[in-house]
Homo-oligomer: A and B are copies of this chain.
């Protein structure tokens, strides 16, 4: 029986083959550059995908909250890095988890460093997050005063140990010239490494973000890469040039509930609570909330004539349909939607269905 027979309502499909290809390709790239790949699991949030990743030599992962770290604790990871400026209200939870799992956190200010120095009960590593121009979070790359204040405070405690510098050049999502961003980011990390390597001979540098890691070939002397989205990719990444439409590993299966041939519109059950509301803009200004694919027994097929979700509300989606699609679609059919932002879609859906018809885990919301 096909996986299609299991579906009566919006369901997130995961194509294991495509996902493994994405994992392998990035692992090969890391290997070629003598880098360690530490993927960010905020995208998949799944033990099953974690087991696949282990087959490509991945031994450590990154997450974005202590709750997500908790999900992955005790599943054989050599280290779990929480890549979010540490939330000091969760120090006791960190103590609980660090008892049995090697963990690292991210620090960007003195207040939280001091709290961890005082209150940590087990060894926990830390990266200093560096802002090399993205402007979301991190210590400015030339703010040696703050870097050294953090290092000094950390030295006062016995459980907090410095691992290195972490840099997320998220402006690769907005700026065309990714090579320039990477040149600057790599130079910043290299400068910091050279400055502090004598004092911390084991320090490493890590860079992460899918658009950059997908297209850049030379990572200089950066030691580790930490992209997340690449395990699934999505239409935003296709749009950014990180991958091809064929590399997107997840599709939301949606039931067709009405067809308006005169308007060339198809109404599906699939909206913001399933896909999230990330959006691209078509060349003619139309919004695009997801790309239509045709669901087949062996997986999905990318149509020759494009159709896409032109609007969504909480549960409704309206497809702007091609003539090809209109000529064959019927009420009660299922269509696939390649998401604009797969991390958000997976977080909304909290579960995957494999093409073999098996449920695949995802951490809970919140």
Contact = CB atoms under 8 A, between A and B. Distances in A.
Residue in A64, A89, A277 whose Cβ sees the most chain B Cβ within 10 Å: A89
Interface of A: 7-10, 42, 64-67, 84-90, 92-93, 108-109, 111-112, 115, 136-137, 170, 255, 257-259, 267, 269, 272-274, 276-278, 311, 313-316, 318, 330-332, 334, 343-344, 347-351, 364-366
A221 to B, nearest CB: 28
Interface on chain A toward B: helix, strand, loop, or mixed SS?
Answer: mixed
B88 A315 contact: no
Contact of A276 (B136, B272, B350): B272
Contact of A42 (B9, B92, B314, B365): B314
Nearest to A279: B277
Given A87-B255, A111-B331, A349-B366, A65 B316 contact: no
A276 B274 contact: no
B87 A269 contact: yes
Given A42-B315, A258-B85, A316-B136, A365 B348 contact: yes
Contacts of A269: 65, 84, 87
Nearest to A351: B366
A366 B10 contact: yes
A64 B365 contact: no
Contacts of A90: 8-9, 255
Contacts of A87: 8-9, 255, 257, 269
B65 A112 contact: no
A126 to B, nearest CB: 14
Given A65-B315, A277-B277, A316-B136, A89 B9 contact: yes
Contacts of A315: 42, 64-65, 84
A105 to B, nearest CB: 11
Given A42-B314, A85-B267, A136-B316, A8 B365 contact: no
